[in-house]
């Protein structure tokens, strides 16, 4: 089974049946822990979060039983959320060796879940495509579900207008081939469908601090990240196809009607706290 300071405990698992508790950008959530050793520091560019509404029962098949899908109601009943997150690592470097830098494309596939053992909102990683030979280090050393790919971005950002004139991404030769074309409105979001307020939606979709995943050996893994608060603009999907989501039966190939939202950010600083860790759990996979 494939993937991808701790966040605050936002909501108890029992709250899921009654709707999501309000979330906010607290000082604790935004605080950046010091980096050291092999922690990764990088600037991400062409960062987008393309979120789909998916059937909760199908999503549950692909995640560890310790986690419950975060559910919202967009008017047609409860739905879970899955995002595709493409970006370019501009200067990927280790805290201990900041002069060694790499630049490559990356795409993360994630679902939004609540940890039923802690009440923490987190993301479940299905996996990551990485356009760098260095992908084999985390694959072998930590059994991360990261996969080599060829990723091409063709983007034109207008700094004066604060929006993209064009945004295209293609992933090939990968476990998760993909294509994506977005249009950028240049406007900040005013609401997110299914969320009682905008801040709750932005915290959930843009600011997860911890991710869990099935390691390549089947065990449960986890790692923590940090980035500053995003100030995204609202985008629109012009064309998209994500083979992984089709293979998992979450989104039909080329389907656009199930798109929940598109959020776009030209750049953001990003930290990954390493090494990733095994996550103990009272639950056992079926």
Walk along the chain (286 residues) and give the pLDDT tens digit of each residue: 333 322 332 333 333 434 688 999 999 999 999 999 999 999 999 999 999 999 999 999 999 999 999 999 998 899 999 999 999 999 999 888 888 889 999 999 999 999 999 999 999 999 999 999 999 999 999 999 999 999 999 999 999 999 999 999 999 999 999 999 999 999 999 999 999 999 999 999 999 999 999 999 999 999 999 999 999 999 999 999 999 999 999 998 888 999 999 999 999 999 999 999 999 777 655 4
Contact between 276 and 223 under an 8 Å Cβ cutoff? The reply is: yes
Domains observed in the chain: 13-278 (2.40.400.10)
Residues, the chain: 286
Contact between 48 and 262 under an 8 Å Cβ cutoff? The reply is: yes
Distance CA 213, CA 120 (A): 15
Chain centroid to CA 93: 20
Contact between 23 and 205 under an 8 Å Cβ cutoff? The reply is: no
Q: How many of the other CB atoms lie within 10 Å of CB of 278?
A: 12
Model-level pTM greater than 0.85? yes
Distance CA 6, CA 281 (A): 16
Listed in order, strand segments (DSSP E) in 7-95 are: 40-54, 67-69, 72-73, 78-94
**Where are the alpha helices (H) located in the chain, listed in sequence order?**
27-30, 56-60, 136-141, 198-206, 243-247
Q: How many helices (H) and strands (E) does the chain have?
A: 5, 14
Residue 205 φ then ψ, to 5°: -80, -35
């Amino acid at each position: 089974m494939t993937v991808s300071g701790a966040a605050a405990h936002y909501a108890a698992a029992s709250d899921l049946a009654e709707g999501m508790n309000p979330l906010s950008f607290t000082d604790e959530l935004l605080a950046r822990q010091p980096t050291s050793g092999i922690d990764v520091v990088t600037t991400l560019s062409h960062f987008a979060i393309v979120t789909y509404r998916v059937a909760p029962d199908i999503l549950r098949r692909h995640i560890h039983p310790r986690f419950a899908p975060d559910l919202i109601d967009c008017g047609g009943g409860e739905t879970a959320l899955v995002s595709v997150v493409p970006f370019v690592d501009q200067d990927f470097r280790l805290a201990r060796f900041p002069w060694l830098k790499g630049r490559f494309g990356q795409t993360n596939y994630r679902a939004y879940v609540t940890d039923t053992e802690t009440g923490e909102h987190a993301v479940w990683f299905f996996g990551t495509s990485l356009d760098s030979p260095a992908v084999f280090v985390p694959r072998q050393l930590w059994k991360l579900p990261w996969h080599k790919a060829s990723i091409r971005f063709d983007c034109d950002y207008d700094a004066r207008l604060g929006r993209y004139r064009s945004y295209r991404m293609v992933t090939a030769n990968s476990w998760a081939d993909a294509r994506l074309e977005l249009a950028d409105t240049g406007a900040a979001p005013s609401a997110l469908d299914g969320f009682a307020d905008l801040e709750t939606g932005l915290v959930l979709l843009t600011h997860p601090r911890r991710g869990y995943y099935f390691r390549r050996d089947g065990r449960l893994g986890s790692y923590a990240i940090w980035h500053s608060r995003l100030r995204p603009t609202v985008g629109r999907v012009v064309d998209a196809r994500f083979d992984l989501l089709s293979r998992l039966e979450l989104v039909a190939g080329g389907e656009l009607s199930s798109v929940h939202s598109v959020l776009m950010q030209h750049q953001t600083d990003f930290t990954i706290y390493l090494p990733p860790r095994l996550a103990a759990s009272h639950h056992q996979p079926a």
